[in-house]
Amino acid sequence: MKNIYSKLCSAAFIAAIGILPISLAAQNTSNPIKGKISLFPDQAQTTISKDIYGHFAEHLGHCIYGGFWVGEKSPIPNTEGLRNDVIAALRDVSIPNLRWPGGCFADTYHWKDGIGPREKRPSIINTNWGGVTEDNSFGTHEFMRLTELLGCDAYINGNIGSGTVQEMSQWVEYLTSDNESPMTRLRKENGRDKPWKVKYWAVGNETWGCGGNMTPDYYGNLFRQFSTYLGNFNGNNLQKVASGASDADYDWTETMIKNPKTRWMMQDISLHYYTIMDNWSHKGSATQFDEKEWFTTLKKSLQIEKIIKGHSDIMDRYDPEKRVGLVVDEWGNWFDVEPGTNPGFLFQQNTLRDAMVAALNLNIFNNHADRIKMANLAQAINVLQSLILTKDEKMVLTPTYYVFKMFKVHQNAKLIPIQLNCENYTFDKESIPSISASASKDDAGKIHVTLANFNPNKDQEITCDLGSATLTQVKGEILTAKSMSAYNNFDKAEEVKPQAFKGATIKNNQLKITMPAKSIVAIELN
């Protein structure tokens, strides 16, 4: 039997052919929705890469400065200038990799500006984000030290837009070579004797846009040229990520992947997809929204599955062995900035709605783990859909942070194929599936199921068939709040944080789950 990945709910299929169910908003809210999930644990073969749970740190707003970096002289507790509270929080979600220095900033970044004594580093203007002065006090050594403290892999984005082949190849050598050469001598002069390990290397970023406004044919030639000179030193094998498509630009992916020489030189190709509620000029408030905006955000976020499938189908034609991974290294909600903040800093609050979008995306990535090998939420701190917000010495963990903490059990576990049937969540004659789910089995034999109930008005009663697994113990966590727009802020107690979940029981190898409206649940079965 072939793997059965998470299917659209049966009601969604009805909507697709033009027969809409009665609006759930008009139903009696005392009657919960009923759904069914079937697990196939004996078919658990595909590993969910831990790198799907990766993050992104760009020189943008207060992501680096004030977020990760405060400097050694700061009164905020730090290790070599890096905030201790931030490091501890990210270690607690088992951060697997961190992408840096961009983003659009990467293709204006020249790495030699960020090495050596800080007082001698040249300042530049951050032309992409706010036009502010970048003093380069956070550079290569600081970033690599950060990854060491976090216990995660480095994902470095090289500059192809305004940089040179020599510049990028020397950066790789500076970081990873132990051979006697000018670059290794320079690294040692700057205080690092032994080379680092760098796992992931992006050859450019958004080369269709801020990374050079290139055509896919032109970029493909540059990718091969640059890649030729990115060496593997001292057992460090770079996993090269080609700059891929935005949204549903399938021509970009096909142009890149169909060329055998280009395909052979890449290990991964990227994909960027942001959930924009309305349009780029009016993205809506992150905190002031109604049910229509809640529904629209989820509906647009769900489109990423169709987009992933479209790109994967193209890749399957030219790479049926799935050697090349799809890397969604920018994703998440993008709303209007918070009132009174610098519009170039992209600072937005983070509500239960963001947590729903995080759960939805992570479940989708899990269910497509045969092709998706890495993903990076944009961004880690103080920018867009962040895990963490900081304000001077204060730190806040967002609802999105807690989703990553609840879902980290899937990292490097085996994907359990599932079949999902549920009613629709319908609003204003439009419908989406009311449930999102994924499941996995870890090395200890424990099964984890993560679910989201998108409907803000109706509870869910879900029956889960456990297949061949014999399980008797269940425990879980739930993330929800009284309001759709609830969020955590600096001067009040956390409104959105996980609690113990008591709404799951096992009997006769069948799991029954009662999920409250607008909730996210993580179940562990033993």
Alpha-carbon span 101 to 104, nearest angstrom: 9
| Between 508 and 287, the higher pLDDT residue | 287
Q: Are residues 408 and 454 in the same domain?
A: no
Q: Are residues 399 and 479 in the same domain?
A: no
| CA distances from residue 416 to 45, 168, 369, 371 in whole angstroms, order as listed | 8, 40, 11, 15
Q: Which spans in 319-393 are helix H?
A: 352-367
Tokens for 331, please give them: 């994703």
Give the position of tokens 């629209």. Answer: 296
Q: Please give the tally of structural domains in the chain.
A: 2
Specify if 503 maps to a domain.
Answer: yes
Residue 464: which H helix or E strand, with range? strand 460-465
Specify if 1 maps to a domain.
Answer: no
Per-residue model confidence (pLDDT) at position 9: 55
Per-residue model confidence (pLDDT) at position 510: 87
pLDDT band per the 50, 70, 90 thresholds, residue 253: very high
Domain around 514: 10-46+416-525
Q: Are residues 435 and 388 in the same domain?
A: no
Q: Are residues 323 and 422 in the same domain?
A: no
Of the listed ranges 15-19, 74-78, 168-172, 312-316, the least confidently predicted one is: 15-19
Specify if 274 maps to a domain.
Answer: yes
**Looking at residue 301, which CATH number applies to its domain?**
3.20.20.80
Specify if 396 maps to a domain.
Answer: yes
Q: Are residues 376 and 518 in the same domain?
A: no
Tell me what the mean pLDDT of segment 254-265 comes to. Answer: 97
Specify if 158 maps to a domain.
Answer: yes
Specify if 293 maps to a domain.
Answer: yes
Q: Are residues 370 and 406 in the same domain?
A: yes
Domain end point (choices 368, 395, 412): 412
pLDDT digits (tens, 9 = 90+) for 458-485: 999 999 998 877 888 999 999 999 999 9
* Enzyme catalytic residues: 206, 330
Q: Are residues 171 and 220 in the same domain?
A: yes
Contact 376, 97 (CB under 8 A): yes
Which three-class secondary structure state does DSSP give residue 153?
A: strand
Q: Are residues 207 and 328 in the same domain?
A: yes
Per-residue model confidence (pLDDT) at position 288: 96
Domain end point (choices 412, 427, 453): 412
pLDDT digits (tens, 9 = 90+) for 413-471: 999 999 999 999 999 999 999 999 999 999 999 999 999 999 999 999 999 998 877 88
Per-residue model confidence (pLDDT) at position 472: 84
Pair type for strands 372-377 and 78-79: unpaired
Specify if 294 maps to a domain.
Answer: yes
**Looking at residue 18, which CATH number applies to its domain?**
2.60.40.1180
Contact 208, 216 (CB under 8 A): yes
pLDDT digits (tens, 9 = 90+) for 167-224: 999 999 999 999 999 999 999 999 999 999 999 999 999 999 999 999 999 999 999 9
Q: Are residues 340 and 463 in the same domain?
A: no
Specify if 2 maps to a domain.
Answer: no
DSSP character at residue 122 = P
Domain end point (choices 412, 442, 461): 412
The alpha carbon torsion through 3, 6, 10, 16 (nearest 10 deg) reads -100
Tell me what the mean pLDDT of segment 348-358 comes to. Answer: 98
Q: Are residues 37 and 186 in the same domain?
A: no
Q: Are residues 118 and 151 in the same domain?
A: yes
Q: Are residues 296 and 436 in the same domain?
A: no
